[in-house]
Structure 1
Amino acid sequence: MEQDFNINYQQSDWEIFNRSGIGHLISISGLHITMIAGLFASIVSALWRRSFFTNLQLPLLLPAQKASALSGALVALVYVALAGFGIPAQRTLYMLFVVAAALWYGRITSVSSVLCLALGTILLLDPWAVLSPGFWLSFSAVAIILFVSAGHPPQLSTNDSSGAQSRLVGLLSAARLQLAITIGLVPLTMLLFGQVSLISPVANAIAIPLVSFVVTPLCLIGSFLPSSPAGTLLNLSHALVEWLAGLLNVLTKFPFTVWSAPVPPWWMFLIALIGTAWAIAPRGWPVRWIGVLGWIPLLLNAPIHPAKGEMWATAFDIGQGMAVLIETEQHRILYDTGPVYTPESDGGNRVIVPYLKARGISVLDAVMISHNDNDHSGGAISIFNEIDVRKTFSSLDFDSAIVQRAPDHSRCQAGQAWTWDGVRFELLFPVPDSYEREKAKPNTRSCTLKITVGDYALLLPGDIEAAQESELMNADAQKLAASVLLAPHHGSGTSSTLPFLKAVSPKMALFQVGYRNRYRHPKQEVYERYGELGIERFRNDESGAIALHFGQAIQVSEYRKQVPRYWHDR
């Protein structure tokens, strides 16, 4: 979504706006577009009726109603084009076009028809719009407004028609509508994001008047004025938004700000949707309160976890990087955090955090960052910002920004071990003197973690290379034996030596590599080496996310086989 004015918010500001449920106001929204189009249409209508204070008699050439409809539609088109033609902006634009066309041809149309025509136009021009959350949220919000407004609005008696009473009724009606939208979008928001802002009605009650009727007009007026007065207006609008962000920051500090739960399955979403529609139905609908019962499965939806004595491992489809989530019955540890993609996006906030929130996971007992390379540590800060992390292990320098931000940090060191829910975790590398080698590459200090559950083991060696593989074998080759091996250094030519693979003797190997990555990992000769040893190979660039369930046996599921891309043959 595009910003409504030229302020470069930090990521934390957008987190505040999203957690409080006002992100639609800070971006280009339908309300802003309609307001601007209506404003210009009113100005053109007033000037056209007066022939721009000339003797041209313009209303005789073209009725003022048609002139205002045309000007409003054109202004809306320009505004939406400047905004980048986002889905919500397109919806508003096409609805305004339909209304303008109806006025031009003197036709009467209903709001529901206008909405359906806009929906059909967007799908005709951009069928892939259905993949955008903004598509569903935008049209659903307007549909809820129409659905709720189908009831009889409250009427004032002739004795209570004072201005104060009229304003009170208008305020109550607006509050009722905002509450209905908030409640009505809960099932869809949970399906798309796995969380709902509980303070959204309060935040919107403050933000909608401020942003729509003060901040946005100040910005628009300031954009047409000379630099000196424009600067005053823009600074004032900035100060108001800054004040709003500060207020919302206070509100979002409370633990009840956001309700998070696992993304519901289709049947749970359907029950909640029917119940919600029943609850917000127009006045006169029988026993509307019973609709709340449809939310019971949604409220009871809890995160799933392995049974006692079992373990799950998920190798994320993170691109060219490494990130593996390990789950036991009551504990979770993340090994590596994926790469940085751009200054604003990384494996943490684009892949790992959305996955954890979709599963309803808000706490990680530990995060282990094998070494300092970008493709292993790039998402760490994003994860620390979004997820409650209890403990951190890494081989990073103490002055690293990640270590400074990491909660309860400890250095990886061979010999460290612990047991969670019957599953043993043991660090095999690096040895203490590895940190004394000042010229050593980060790869040579990769945290190497072995996880043993029952008769099976998983070995996570990070980016160790041939020298470290040899060092591990010289220390205790028997400790390396594992059922599943995460290919060292993504299957590069500097690792996965034959003696090391024979010492580990895995049945399966995982290659966390990006599609057509520039390093050409895994190297063909290394990949074939695994095959020649009879090791079953799995690659993220082909399989998507790879999930391993360790129990009586090892069960493997590949996301792209379960959910293939629509252009692939099933």
Structure 2
Amino acid sequence: MFIRFVLGVLAATFGFYQIPELPVFSVSKSFAIALGSIILLIVFWRLRGLKGPVDFINGFIIGFQLVFWQTFFIPQVPTTFLNQPIELVGQIEGLVEESVTDQSGKSKQQKWRFDLRVHDMKTPNGIVQTFGFGSRPKVRLSWYQIASEDRAIIKPVAGEVWQLAVKLKPNHASLNPGGFDYETYLFREGIAATGYVLSKGSIKNQPLSAFGMDARTFLTERLSQLFSNSEFRGLFLALLVGQKTDLDSADWQTLQATGTIHLMAISGLHMGIMAAIGYFLLGGLWSLSIRFSSNLPRAIKYRLLNTPKIWVAGLGALLFSTVYLTLAGYAIPTQRAWLMVLVVLLMVFLQRAFQPFAALALAALLIVIWQPTSVLSPGFWLSFVAVALIFGALFHPKIQPKSKWQKFWLIQLVLFLGLAPLIAFYYQQFPLMSLLANWIAVPFVSFYGLPVLLLLGLLDWVLPVDWMNLLVSWNDHAWQGLWGYLNFLTLSPINQMPLTLTLWQVVLIYLGLFLWVNPNNHWGIKSRLLVWIPILSILGYGFMPKSFEGITIQILDVGQAQAVVLLTPNHTIVVDTGSRWNANLDGASMAILPYLKTQNRQKIDLLVVSHSDLDHSGGTQRLMDSLPIIKAVSGQATQLNQALNTTTFTPCQAGQTWQFDDLSLAVLAPDSDVEVWPVPKNDNDHSCVIKASFPTLKGEKSILMTGDLSQAYEKRLVALYQKTDILKSTLLVAGHHGSKTASSTEFLQGVAPEMVIFSSGYQNRFGFPNQQVIEQVEAQNVTWLNTACASAISISAQKQSELKIESFRELSAKWYHHRCFEDEKGRFYQ
């Protein structure tokens, strides 16, 4: 009954965060529903025939009520204090991330990123908001400082209370099919707003009180110094204190490709190791004290002899796991693991028989009550399903008699197969090498890696620096062996298997697997085999490439940049690759590759990079490293080839055409005739202008992409094609992201689009799309969309249907997602 009840609570909580609008209930109606669910629970308590469904339904109703009422207690930043300079007073929480973003001569730009628990805030016109203890919102801030001879860098430290001049904005982020949902991440982490510290102004940024460096920050800095010369410094800090900022993109790619990324999250495995160390350490000390208790006073000896060893050992496990929880900064995965340890120890202390699945259900219920947004984390489901699979394997009658090593290998096999549906659901692929990787990596980290790192951390307090450097160097040799093995596995051509499954398919697969392996299931072997028919059918469908008719165009949401993907049944075309913000994040990693992964696309038939500016070419290198590219063209091919150290790109010239199924592509500019098209003096006017045409029910439609072409060259484009209809297009991707340097009235009249699409960033510093350009578009009675508000814009065209245009933000809307302001005409403004 209890497990079914908890499943109902989990289903309700997860479902609540999937609805597009927050439901509105009156207080009386809400209490009436809650009372009704309690009555149902009592009435049907003993009706065996309905017991299972009613338990689940009651759990669902009560769970929905709990999570609904908790939304009213989520700390918020009032809209009055957003999008303007304000003064904050708050306390820094967690680790302060540090990075050098620029360095030249004697000055450097230092970036700090930290979370601030806000005590009060004040606007320039004197509006003040003070928050109570339980309602203080948490904001995430970036602070850029430049050091010079007359100006020192001020380092914020965890635990300090600061007065800061900041500018906050809502949690608005890019949304793309298959991409990382950063808005959901911020909501899950309890971040009410993001922003940056202002370095200029009348408000002085200063600490108001300092409590000294907290234990976690102190330990992190000490460990960072200890491993400063180690090539695995980022891995070690991630394992010990949960700081992952030193892991670069290559590290993450290796971990993800081998299915070992879970080893870098302080969760069940690491917490279990810490609990085991505490259990055996204090248990061993208790045994030693009993052995030498003859010389102790009678009262102490009596206490020792009458205290069960398991209590002392359990207390050690709780102590060590709690310390580890603190050092990990109370991260949500660590809280899950700690609660699981707590549940197990409670059963030990209460001398109750350990019921694995009931304990697992209790831990899940406690986590959802304490932190309901945990269900939005893939780690929540992966960790609980993994533990359930381990319990199911350990207590299965066919596995129980096996030896310990046989159990270990079998459990790894069970995890490999059992987690495949969830991994496919969240990541649209499955690392086939993960079984071989985890067979080595899990015992290495469990029995050597983490214990040795803990030992090194302790020895650092007593041994001289030279000795510690030698020990760290020896330890690096062992990790080099593991890392070399993992990198070897990533070279396999069949490592990443595309696999896409929906939520309902995942639920059906796990239900079928449960019916198959349930030891209480008395079906015959033939009946059991029938279960595999739908399971294999679903998996087979997930492995199949996405098949569709017609043309799909995705204008991806890549901030103040541009990236467009065009798909036909058999071909993939990419026009521009977004920007690059740092070594780990660019337009390809953020939007293009995740989207192509959802479509099971394994190559790019044509890559067009309009010109070499970073906001159009930033993701090119990663795209070239990730997928084979058949042909690549650019308006600045020479510059791109030099910058990327390649010979892949060839010049883009007017007159070039390609045919991909029903999609026709034509290059309209630049023209080779220097009299018609003089050599541009800036990068923007080198832009390769592409027109894509495709059939629909109402005839041929088209989309025109002009890169960053300026009005001067737009005028030349109109003159070049004024005697034909070549320039006319159904859709226009506005030049230069909506800058007033493009999209002139003359050009709009020449193109005569039905819709203009702006690819710009939310509240970008340039103010794009420019208001004048919007007015020019509206003066032509043309509708428009902006990726900053609509997110990725999908355009679907088929011969048998009309053109279909959809906003991904509307399609994937959740009630906690941010929305732009809507005017009386239904248009969205930032």
TM-score exceeds 0.5: yes
CA spacing shift, 1:432–1:242, aligned 2, 3 Å: farther
Alignment pair present for 1:187 and 2:421: yes
CA spacing shift, 1:275–1:104, aligned 2, 3 Å: closer
Q: Which of 56, 60, 83 in structure 1 is aligned with 2:328?
A: 83
Alignment pair present for 1:543 and 2:778: no
Alignment pair present for 1:269 and 2:482: no
Alignment pair present for 1:522 and 2:775: no
**CA–CA separation in structure 1 for the residues paired with 2:750 and 2:679:** 29
Alignment pair present for 1:146 and 2:395: no
After superposition, the C-alpha distances for 1:380-436 in whole angstroms (9 at most, x for unaligned) are 2222232332222223463547853667321222222222224321112224588x9
Q: Name 1:296's counterpart in structure 2.
A: 537
Q: Name 1:66's counterpart in structure 2.
A: 311
**CA–CA separation in structure 2 for the residues paired with 1:256 and 1:522:** 44
Alignment pair present for 1:220 and 2:454: yes
Q: Which of 610, 620, 623 in structure 2 is aligned with 1:380?
A: 620
Which has the larger displacement, 37-46 or 348-357? Answer: 37-46
Please state how far the C-alpha of 1:367 moved relative to its aligned partner. 1.7
Judge conservation of contact 1:417–1:424 (CA < 8 Å) in 2.
yes
Kindly provide the amino acid, as one letter, of the partner of residue 25 in structure 1.
L
Kindly provide the amino acid, as one letter, of the partner of residue 742 in structure 2.
S
Note the 1:32-181 alignment, pairs <5 A: 32-51=270-289, 55=296, 57=300, 60=303, 63=307, 64-152=309-397, 169-181=403-415
After superposition, the C-alpha distances for 1:98-121 in whole angstroms (9 at most, x for unaligned) are 233344444444222322222122
Alignment pair present for 1:337 and 2:586: no
Judge conservation of contact 2:278–2:318 (CA < 8 Å) in 1.
no
Q: Which runs of 5+ in 1 are unaligned?
A: 157-167
Note the 1:435-454 alignment, pairs <5 A: 440-454=681-695
Q: Name 1:3's counterpart in structure 2.
A: 238
Q: Name 1:417's counterpart in structure 2.
A: 657
Kindly provide the amino acid, as one letter, of the partner of residue 268 in structure 1.
Q
Judge conservation of contact 2:277–2:320 (CA < 8 Å) in 1.
no
Q: Name 1:461's counterpart in structure 2.
A: 706
CA spacing shift, 1:9–1:569, aligned 2, 3 Å: closer
Q: Secondary structure at the match of 1:474?
A: helix
Q: Percent identity?
A: 29
Q: Secondary structure at the match of 2:577?
A: coil
Which has the larger displacement, 437-446 or 233-242? Answer: 437-446
**CA–CA separation in structure 1 for the residues paired with 2:347 and 2:553:** 58
**CA–CA separation in structure 2 for the residues paired with 1:402 and 1:330:** 31
Q: Which of 742, 759, 779 in structure 2 is aligned with 1:532?
A: 779
Q: Which of 482, 489, 492 in structure 1 is aligned with 2:736?
A: 489
Q: Name 2:557's counterpart in structure 1.
A: 317
After superposition, the C-alpha distances for 1:459-478 in whole angstroms (9 at most, x for unaligned) are 00111111121221232234
CA spacing shift, 1:142–1:446, aligned 2, 3 Å: same
Q: Secondary structure at the match of 2:239?
A: coil
CA spacing shift, 1:397–1:391, aligned 2, 3 Å: closer
Q: Secondary structure at the match of 2:238?
A: coil
After superposition, the C-alpha distances for 1:167-205 in whole angstroms (9 at most, x for unaligned) are x82222221111111111111111111111222222211
Q: Which of 255, 258, 265 in structure 1 is aligned with 2:493?
A: 255
Q: Which runs of 5+ in 2 are unaligned?
A: 1-234, 820-830
After superposition, the C-alpha distances for 1:437-490 in whole angstroms (9 at most, x for unaligned) are 998332121121111224222100111111121221232234321111001111
Aligned length: 555
Note the 1:17-36 alignment, pairs <5 A: 17-36=255-274
Judge conservation of contact 1:390–1:408 (CA < 8 Å) in 2.
no
**CA–CA separation in structure 2 for the residues paired with 1:568 and 1:495:** 32
**Structure 1 or 2: more helix by fraction:** 1
Q: TM-score, normalised to structure 1's length?
A: 0.89
CA spacing shift, 1:550–1:154, aligned 2, 3 Å: closer
Alignment pair present for 1:392 and 2:392: no
CA spacing shift, 1:191–1:326, aligned 2, 3 Å: same
Judge conservation of contact 1:76–1:93 (CA < 8 Å) in 2.
yes
Q: Name 1:229's counterpart in structure 2.
A: 467
Please state how far the C-alpha of 1:491 moved relative to its aligned partner. 1.0
**CA–CA separation in structure 2 for the residues paired with 1:451 and 1:172:** 58
Q: Secondary structure at the match of 1:388?
A: coil
Q: Secondary structure at the match of 2:424?
A: helix
Which has the larger displacement, 345-354 or 49-58? Answer: 49-58
Which has the larger displacement, 269-278 or 30-39? Answer: 269-278
Alignment pair present for 1:559 and 2:812: no
Please state how far the C-alpha of 1:137 moved relative to its aligned partner. 0.4
**CA–CA separation in structure 1 for the residues paired with 2:596 and 2:443:** 35
Judge conservation of contact 2:680–2:686 (CA < 8 Å) in 1.
no
Please state how far the C-alpha of 1:265 moved relative to its aligned partner. 3.1
CA spacing shift, 1:453–1:59, aligned 2, 3 Å: farther
Please state how far the C-alpha of 1:219 moved relative to its aligned partner. 1.4
Which has the larger displacement, 68-77 or 457-466? Answer: 68-77
Judge conservation of contact 1:277–1:291 (CA < 8 Å) in 2.
no
CA spacing shift, 1:104–1:265, aligned 2, 3 Å: closer
Judge conservation of contact 2:638–2:649 (CA < 8 Å) in 1.
no
Please state how far the C-alpha of 1:255 moved relative to its aligned partner. 2.0
Q: Name 2:231's counterpart in structure 1.
A: none
Kindly provide the amino acid, as one letter, of the partner of residue 274 in structure 1.
L
**CA–CA separation in structure 2 for the residues paired with 1:348 and 1:295:** 33
Judge conservation of contact 2:612–2:639 (CA < 8 Å) in 1.
no
Kindly provide the amino acid, as one letter, of the partner of residue 200 in structure 1.
S
After superposition, the C-alpha distances for 1:68-110 in whole angstroms (9 at most, x for unaligned) are 3233223212223323444432221111122333444444442
Judge conservation of contact 1:418–1:425 (CA < 8 Å) in 2.
yes
**CA–CA separation in structure 1 for the residues paired with 2:339 and 2:400:** 32
Please state how far the C-alpha of 1:325 moved relative to its aligned partner. 0.8
Q: Name 1:209's counterpart in structure 2.
A: 443
Q: Which of 434, 445, 449 in structure 2 is aligned with 1:200?
A: 434
Kindly provide the amino acid, as one letter, of the partner of residue 131 in structure 1.
L
Which has the larger displacement, 346-355 or 127-136? Answer: 346-355
Alignment pair present for 1:15 and 2:253: yes
CA spacing shift, 1:401–1:96, aligned 2, 3 Å: farther
After superposition, the C-alpha distances for 1:495-532 in whole angstroms (9 at most, x for unaligned) are 11010100001011111122222211111121121111
**CA–CA separation in structure 2 for the residues paired with 1:492 and 1:351:** 23
**CA–CA separation in structure 1 for the residues paired with 2:667 and 2:400:** 72
Q: Secondary structure at the match of 1:4?
A: helix
CA spacing shift, 1:59–1:121, aligned 2, 3 Å: farther
CA spacing shift, 1:338–1:59, aligned 2, 3 Å: farther
CA spacing shift, 1:421–1:471, aligned 2, 3 Å: same
Which has the larger displacement, 131-140 or 472-481? Answer: 472-481
Which has the larger displacement, 266-275 or 448-457? Answer: 266-275
Judge conservation of contact 1:353–1:383 (CA < 8 Å) in 2.
yes
Q: Name 2:610's counterpart in structure 1.
A: 370
CA spacing shift, 1:464–1:438, aligned 2, 3 Å: closer
Q: TM-score, normalised to structure 2's length?
A: 0.62
Query: What is the CA RMSD across the aligned residues, in angstroms?
Result: 3.0
